[in-house]
Amino acid sequence: MNPTSQPAVRRTQGDRRAESDRRILGAAMRLIARNGAAGTTLADIGVAAGYSRGLPSERFGTKGALLDSLISRTEEAFQEQLAIDVGGKTGLAAVAARIEAHLNGAARSPDAVRALYLLYMESLTVAPELHGHIAELGRAYRAGFVRHLREARQAGEIDARIDVQDHATVILGALRGMITLWLIDPAAIDLPAAKAVLVAMVHRGLAPPHASGQRKQPARALRDAPKRRRARSARA
């Protein structure tokens, strides 16, 4: 026996299960990115992962539960990267970092983002059991932008009169629209250029009047924005 060789480390049952779950979710992501959830069966996923047709059902129970786990696993990876990208930044610097994290994530993991966006749409039709989870993600993303916009407002980086919730909604909507356009026609969308334009628009559009050199917006319109939102909520 070679004295320098190391004995093979025996994997535990937990290790083997974690590895098989990872492979199953990876196969699910790839198949959904190509065929959508409606066009992907649990049996397809098991075979693509290199296991039996029945293992995904054995592990996750239902297709909906597997898809829910896939969304959670994808979100965990995004949040880990987001924490690195944002770091200790606050205010507008953190807003820009969040914008970059969403768009860089699409460029780094196109299959994962394509699968996630297809699940967004299918949660409105063929996979309604996912709708609550998908909606929760959107609320969390929006809350992150709200938090950093409030920091920017407190620091005097942006116009004190703006409605941070409405602006967070617009920023998130712009991001999702850009990513959707890119997924549909990647060759037609330059994500780095679009990212720079969005960040610049946010800085210019939110700048205090004295910093932007632009005419002040009517104070009443800005002041009344929260009232309009409350009225919309009451009607809903």
Q: pLDDT tens digits for 157-180?
A: 999 999 999 999 999 999 999 999
- Average pLDDT on 47-64 reads 97
The distance in angstroms from the start CA to the end CA of the chain is 75
- Average pLDDT on 195-205 reads 95
| Cα distances (angstroms) measured from residue 98 to each of 1, 142, 148 | 54, 11, 9
pLDDT of 130 > 80? The answer is: yes
CA–CA distance, 116 with 119 (Å, rounded to integer): 5
Average pLDDT across the chain, whole number? 89
pLDDT of 219 > 70? The answer is: no
Instruction: Give the per-residue pLDDT at 231.
Output: 58
Which percentage of the chain shows pLDDT scores above 90?
82
pTM (two decimals): 0.83
Long-range pairs for 119-122: beta carbons < 8 A, 24 or more residues apart: 119/32, 119/37, 119/67, 119/70, 119/71, 122/36, 122/37, 122/38
Domain boundaries, the chain: 67-212
| Cα distances (angstroms) measured from residue 82 to each of 6, 36, 77, 85, 87 | 38, 26, 9, 5, 8
Q: pLDDT tens digits for 15-24?
A: 999 999 999 9
The region of weakest confidence among 60-69, 131-140, 204-213 is 204-213
CA–CA distance, 80 with 103 (Å, rounded to integer): 15
Place domain 67-212 in its CATH homologous superfamily. Answer: Tetracycline Repressor, domain 2 (1.10.357.10)
Instruction: Give the per-residue pLDDT at 234.
Output: 53
∠7-12-15 over CA atoms, to 5°?
Answer: 110
Instruction: Give the per-residue pLDDT at 222.
Output: 46
